[in-house]
Amino acid sequence: MQSRRQFLKGSGGLALGLAALGSASSRIFAAGSDVIRVGAVGCGGRGRGAIIDCLSSSDGIVITALADPFRDRMQEAVRQVRQWCQQAGKPVDQVWKVSEERMFTGYQGYRHLVSLPEVDVVILATPPVFRPLHLAAAIKAGKHVFMEKPVAVDPPGARAIIETGSLAAQKGLSIVAGTQRRYQKAYRWNAYAVRNGALGKIVSARIWWCGGALWFHSRGPDESDADYMARNWVSFTEMSGDHIVEQHVHNIDVANWFIGRPPRSALGFGARARRKTGNQYDFFSVDFDYGEDVTVHSMCRQINGCYSRVSEHFVGAERSLWADSPIQTSMSIPDFEDGNPYVIEHKELINSIRSGKPINDAKAVAEATMAAIMGRISAYTGQMVRWQDLVENTTSPWFNLKLSPSAEDFEAGTVKVPQEDRAPIPGSD
């Protein structure tokens, strides 16, 4: 295994061993504080992107710690931040304060990072299976959090996110989720208009995430089961929740947001037809019943060479709209900020910390995740699944459904890869 010193030498000369910021005493942010210290848990594509977005969002941001099971991903984070600094015209040592002692590998590295007094905000960008455990650790440690979506892969995990979100509210901590449509001007404009009657009563909607297959890494000759699954997390339901949860959660979240509540039940189907890797479905088709005679048809697909569309369409008693196209109305609508929503979400997180006015996305993103899980369970089993089966009814066969391997298995070193090229068959599994 490569040593930290070897890693530093291989990072293109970037000084990761720079001195830490001033004294490393624990602090609580007060209104008007300037420097905010950020640690990132997960340095894959999403984690690196979140680091850059956070740096781009506000002045006074410094990265002080990294955690990832794989050293090469931290090395790539080093390279990309260095490149960003060159493009932004900022000295590297102005934003990068990651000392050699604050780089943590392995599946328990997050524990060390969240315990650091040199970290005020934690970016959580590991595969979704880890999110409930990592969020709980960060909030208990008194850190503000940016967390990528989705936030769980099973019902107990989604409920745990809601509980941790409540704890964050009690502690005055902010949680922002990577559901960037909620920070995008067109969506905010339409959500405001819809919630104030621009369409009349919503009667139906169609939501889609239809695209191609994602990436896959061939297994190395000496790669462990845990590392193989972690590097290919988008191929395993146990890691991602399947693509209805991992990708389509965005569209489901928009439906929840515009309608104002999560669905009451789901009835859907799907299948595995083309995939050769992992154990996920190729497509899902789900009817979500939101009650009050409101039905949303959900469609998602990951098959190359097919029609692609990622969007949401809402039909009201008076008008209809595409969620990403601002509706024309005489209604007075707030002047929402325009710009890159991936950056704005970080900007609003930082502003909430500096102003002492916490924001908390935990419940909304957990409910969107739970709705997606509800749709997946229905498709996998061929049964109608009700919201109360996942959040209230403890006698439901799905209330305590927990996928395995779990985050705890990765820490314990007991991960076993599930059978690949096999998926649930409705009516028999």
pLDDT at 429: 53
Per-residue pLDDT tens digits for 279-294? 999 999 999 999 999 9
Distance, CA of 75 to CA of 52 (rounded, Å): 15
Radius of gyration in angstroms for the set of CA atoms belonging to the chain, rounded to a whole number: 22
Contact 271, 283 (CB under 8 A): yes
pLDDT at 57: 98
Distance, CA of 61 to CA of 307 (rounded, Å): 41
Per-residue pLDDT tens digits for 261-277? 999 999 999 999 888 89
Residue 395 in tokens: 């006698």
Contact 328, 339 (CB under 8 A): no
In terms of phi and psi (left: phi > 0; alpha: psi -120 to 50; beta: otherwise), the region of 247 is alpha
Distance, CA of 424 to CA of 429 (rounded, Å): 6
Residue 414 in tokens: 């007991």
Distance, CA of 75 to CA of 158 (rounded, Å): 32
Beta strand 175-177 with 385-386 is: unpaired
Distance, CA of 43 to CA of 353 (rounded, Å): 23
Contact 270, 335 (CB under 8 A): no
Contact 28, 143 (CB under 8 A): no
pTM assigned to the model: 0.92
Domains of the chain plus CATH, in order, are 4-181 (3.40.50.720), 186-328+364-412 (3.30.360.10)
Per-residue pLDDT tens digits for 299-358? 999 999 999 999 999 999 999 999 999 999 999 999 999 999 999 999 999 999 999 999
Report which of 305, 256, 262 is spatially closest to residue 282, judged by C-alpha positions.
305
Tell me what percent of the residues of the chain surpass a pLDDT of 70.
92
DSSP characters over 180-191:
GGGGSHHHHHHH
Whole-Å CA distances, 105 to 43, 124, 328:
11, 15, 51
Question: Cβ contacts of residue 360 below 8 Å, gap of 6+?
Answer: 165, 168, 169, 174, 175
Which residues does residue 247 pair with via DSSP β-bridges, in sequence order? Answer: none
Q: Give the least confident one: 5-19, 50-64, 100-114, 159-173.
A: 5-19
Contact 82, 90 (CB under 8 A): no
Tell me whether residue 220 is exposed, middle or buried, using C-beta atoms within 10 angstroms of its C-beta: 0 to 12, 13 to 18, 19 or more: exposed
Contact 121, 145 (CB under 8 A): yes
Which residues does residue 310 pair with via DSSP β-bridges, in sequence order? Answer: 209
Whole-Å CA distances, 369 to 136, 166, 279:
17, 17, 19
Distance, CA of 332 to CA of 353 (rounded, Å): 29
134: enclosing H helix or E strand:
helix 131-140
The more confident residue out of 30 and 330 is: 330
pLDDT at 276: 84
pLDDT at 14: 37
Distance, CA of 76 to CA of 57 (rounded, Å): 21
The more confident residue out of 22 and 346 is: 346
Per-residue pLDDT tens digits for 106-131? 999 999 999 999 999 999 999 999 99
**Coil vs helix vs strand at 239:** helix
Distance, CA of 42 to CA of 74 (rounded, Å): 8
Mean pLDDT of the chain: 92
